[in-house]
Chains A and B, each alone.
Chain A
C-alpha cells in the first residue's frame, strides 16, 4: 500500500499522513471500547462495597478472601479442569484426524469435512439443547462427563482447522524421505509428522482452552446441579448482583494470561537464541 502511494503527488502524501493520525485515533477508540468494561472489572475488584452499586473505596479484602479459598474458586477450578480434559481429548483426536484427512483420500472425507464446520457456525444454543435432549434420551445424567462430551464437540473442529492451516504448507517430502529410509508409518508419525505439527498443536490447544473456559451457553444446558462451572455460576448472578470475588477472579485470570503470553514469548526468544548459539558453536567446531 505504502509503495503504491509514495509514487503519487506530494499532496496525496500529506493526505495520507493526516489519515494516519485519524487511523490511530480510530484504533485507540476501538481498543477503548473493547477494554472499558475490563478496566471497570479490575477497578471493582478493589471495591470496598460487595454489592457493587458504586465504587466505595479501595480494599484488598476480596483478594485475600479468594486466596484463602472462596467457594467460587471451586467453580473456577472445575472450569479449568473441564477445559484441560476437553483440550487433551480434542488435541489427540484432532491431530490424528488432521493428518488422516490430509494424507488419505476416502469416500466419506468430504462429508466429515463438511460436518466439521457445523459446530463452528451453528448457534451454540442449538448444540446445547441438542446435547441435552439426546444425552438425556441415552440415559446420561448431566454432569462433568456430559460437559466434556459437548465441549470436545465444539472445540475439536477449531483444533482441526488450526492444524490444517499448518499442515497445508508443510513439506510432505520429509515424510516420504523417512519412509524411504525404512521408517514405518507409526514411526514416521511419531518422529516426523507430529514434531513438525507441534506449533499448530500448541495454538490449537490454546484455542480449545480459551473456547472452553469462556463457554456459557452450551455448558448451561449440559451441566448438572453438582457441577457448576465458573461462567454458569456467574450467569446465575448476573441478573441480580455480581459479588466482588467474581471481579477478583477475572482480574487474576487476565493477569495470569498476560504473564503466560509474555512468558511464552520470552521462552521462545530464549530458545531461539540458545539454538543460534549452539548452531554457531557447531559451525566453529567444524
Chain B
C-alpha cells in the first residue's frame, strides 16, 4: 500500500455510501452470527433440541470428555499430516512452476484451478471409483494376477488423509507460488557467488525468504481441514469421526446446539489466534 498517496480526507458521506453497505453486511451476516454461536455455547440444550436460554458452562465441561478429546486430537493430527504432505508436494511444484516461461506458467496455473469446476465431492467420488475394492486399481491388479484379493484402500484413515491432501493441496500451491516468484534473485546469486552449495543456499536463503508463503499455505490447508466433514464422509465411510463430523452431527443430528457451538468456539478462537499471529509475519492478502 502506498501510504504517501493516501490523503486524509474528511468525507463522512462518501465513506458511509461506499464502505457502509459492506460493513453492515458483515455485521449482520458474519459478526452477529459468530457472536450468537458464542452465546449459544453458554446456554442449555433444550429437551427436544434447540436452545434454552439459561446460562450454563456444561458444554465446555463436556468438551473434556475423553471421547471428544480423542476426536479432537485425531483431527489435529490429521490436519497436521495433511499440511505436511501438501507442503512436501507443493513446495517443489510451486518452485518449478516459477521457473517455467511466463506464458506456459499462466496455462499451468489455470490447469490447477480448472478441476475446481467439478465439485469437490464428485472428484472425491472419482477417486473412490479408482481406489475402492471393485475400483480401477484393484480390478487391474487382479486381472494381471498380482493379487487375488482386492487391497482395501477406501474407508480408512489413510483414505481420509489422501482425500484431504487431494482437496487442499492447490490452496498450498498458490500462496507458495506467489511467495517464490517474489524471491530476490540477486540474493540467491550472491549466495552461490560466496560459495554456498545448493542445499545451503536453499536452507539459509530461499527457505527463510519464502516463509510467509509457507505460513499462508499452511493456514489455508490446516484450518479448513479441521472443519471439512464431507471428505471424511466420502473417503472414511460412515464411521469416520473428526471434529468437523462431530460439530455437524451436534447441529443437525443430535441437535445439541450448545455443545456443537462450544466446539465451534474453539475453532473460532483458534482461527483468530492464527490470523493475529500470521499478520505479524506475512501479508494477510496472500491468504485469499
Contact = CB atoms under 8 A, between A and B. Distances in A.
Contact of A168 (B1, B129, B139): B1
Contacts of B170: 34
B153 interface: no
Q: Which of A123, A124, A217, A258 counts the most B-chain CB atoms under 10 A from its CB?
A: A123
Interface in B197-225: 219-220, 223-224
Interface string B266-284: 0110011011000000001
6 contacts: A26-B92, A36-B127, A37-B129, A41-B126, A96-B17, A117-B284
Interface of B, secondary structure class, is helix
A129 B6 contact: no
For B9, B126, B244, B284, which residue has the most chain A Cβ atoms within 10 angstroms?
A: B126
Contact of B271 (A52, A109, A121, A129): A121
A189 B14 CA distance: 11
Given A96-B21, A156-B25, A103 B118 contact: no
B65 interface: no
A133 B15 contact: no
DSSP majority for the A interface?
Answer: helix
A124 B1 contact: no
Interface string A103-115: 1111011001011
Interface residues of B, number: 93
Contacts of A41: 118, 122-123, 125-126
A123 B226 contact: yes
Given A27-B93, A257-B114, A37 B130 contact: yes
Interface of A: 1-5, 7-8, 23, 26-27, 30-31, 33-41, 44, 52-54, 93-94, 96-97, 99-106, 108-109, 112, 114-127, 129-135, 137, 149-150, 152-153, 156-158, 160-162, 164-165, 168, 172, 185, 210, 213-214, 216-217, 221, 230-231, 234-235, 238-239, 242, 246-247, 250, 253-254, 257-258, 261
Contacts of A134: 32-33, 36-37
B112 interface: yes
Nearest to B257: A133
Nearest to B37: A130
B111 A31 contact: yes
A147 B108 CA distance: 33
